[in-house]
Amino acid sequence: MDKLLIRGGRRLHGEVIISGAKNAALPELCAALLTAEPVNLHNVPRLKDVGTMRTLLEHMGVVTQTFGERGGMGFHAADPIRPEAPYELVKTMRASVLALGPLLARFGHAKVSLPGGCAIGSRPVDQHIKGLTAMGAEIVVEHGYMVARLPAGRTRLKGARIATDMVTVTGTENFLMAACLAQGETLLENAAQEPEIPDLAEMLIKMGAKIEGHGSSRIRIQGVEKLHGCTHQVVADRIEAGTFLCAVAAAGGDVLVRHARIDHLEAVVEKLRDAGVTVTVEGDGIRVRSGGASGLKAQNFRTTEYPGFPTDMQAQFMALNAVAQGASMVTETIFENRFMHVDELVRLGANIQIDGKVALVEGVPQLSGAMVMATDLRASASLVIAGLVAQGETLVDRIYHLDRGYDQMEEKLRALGADIERVR
């Protein structure tokens, strides 16, 4: 099992190119199921989850190819397609539920395994079932699978008003894709507004979909009979960009984070500036300058749905707070088990106490290197940031979590001057 060995204390300088967003690429791969024509995507990140989704599509009968230097992938979902996502292929990736809407919309039936457990908390699929049922689908859960089909006599889903009980990103994406081929108008209320949603919508519009309001909480879709192929570039990963901003803030230095969009990171950037970090727009990215941990002021924050502070940045910013001046309060409102990185940060010398959904962080002058274990994707990133500022060597185990969401992170950090290597 691979590990990361980090020798802390080096400042970061130079440029880093942010890869395409995993949370945009995964639904956009599934969107290729909506048409029998070729779909080409650029800037697809080289991640384990993307590879798993590609394998799943190939299992269904989709012809895939890789082209170009910067993440080019092609998909051709011509008939015949096997509309099934087996457990063996999806047990490691919860995003497999995104195949349900496109398969049901185009083929009228689908069999998709229920995703397995998630380390950071429950992500129920009941909202997906509720929304697709409102569009006329008949869905039963049996033997660990969601088995969906259209009623006898129907050939298309029907438009509907869907108001979910809570904001759900993958639910919004599933309904958005399914509604493109539904009969009539679909109105999504309480829709997720994360930047990956409008990126998916823009791709679908290129395929011939009729969508309005994407990027707001109210999305309107007029169904069409058929979609065609397209070429689309995956939006840059705002969470990877935010992670590098926090890494430079904690370690100190001057880095241009290329392809990052500051309008996708407003809540994080505001907190970084309040902490004493200089963050400016420059060229096609964001420049971040920091004097290091000794000049940082701890910041309180509360995670919430976009455009609020993202739960996917909570662990990384907590690592920064752990070495900042003063005390801070971090409140997690999205997932119930998202403080599992705290015990590992404490092993490095952090002073953090948990009280329910709140973590109380008292900044310390110095962390010290130790062996630590990643517990989930973003937790692993927080341990890397902590390792960059810790004195001595930090060895991060279970970095397969990191590989699920970060494209060659150690190579990018090493290019900025970090002393970091993968130990196989």
Axis-axis angle for helices 238-251, 377-389 (nearest 10): 20
Any binding-site annotation on 300? no
Cα distances from 147 to residues 22, 87, 158, in angstroms, run 27, 13, 18
- Those residues whose C-beta lies under 8 Å from the C-beta of residue 51, and which sit 6 or more positions away, are none
Kindly give the residue spans of alpha helices, DSSP state H, lying in 118-264. Answer: 126-134, 169-180, 196-206, 238-251
Residue whose tokens read 């109380």: 360
Q: Which of 30, 118, 180, 230 is catalytic?
A: 118
Residue 86 labelled as part of a binding site: no
Q: Is 299 annotated as a binding residue?
A: no
DSSP class of 283:
T
The answer on whether 123 is annotated among ligand-binding residues is yes
**126 known member of a binding site:** yes
Q: Using an 8 Å Cβ cutoff, are 290 and 253 in contact?
A: yes
Residues pairing with 7 in the sheet: 393, 419
> Is 321 labelled a binding residue?
no
Q: How far apart are CA 18 and CA 267, in angstroms?
A: 19
Task: Tell whether 22 is in a known binding site.
Answer: yes
Which amino acid is present at 126?
D
357 in a labelled binding site: no
The single residue listed with the structure tokens 């639910």 is: 171
38 is in an annotated binding site: no
407 annotated to bind ligand: no
What DSSP assignment string belongs to 44-111? ----HHHHHHHHHHHHHT-EEEEETTTTEEEEE-PSP---EE-HHHHTT-GGGGGGHHHHHHHHSEEE
N residues, the chain: 424
Q: Is residue 118 annotated as a catalytic residue, yes or no?
A: yes
Annotated binding site: 22-23, 94, 123-127, 312, 334
Annotated binding site for phosphoenolpyruvate: 22-23
Just list the catalytic residues.
118
Annotated binding site for UDP-N-acetyl-alpha-D-glucosamine: 94, 123-127, 312, 334
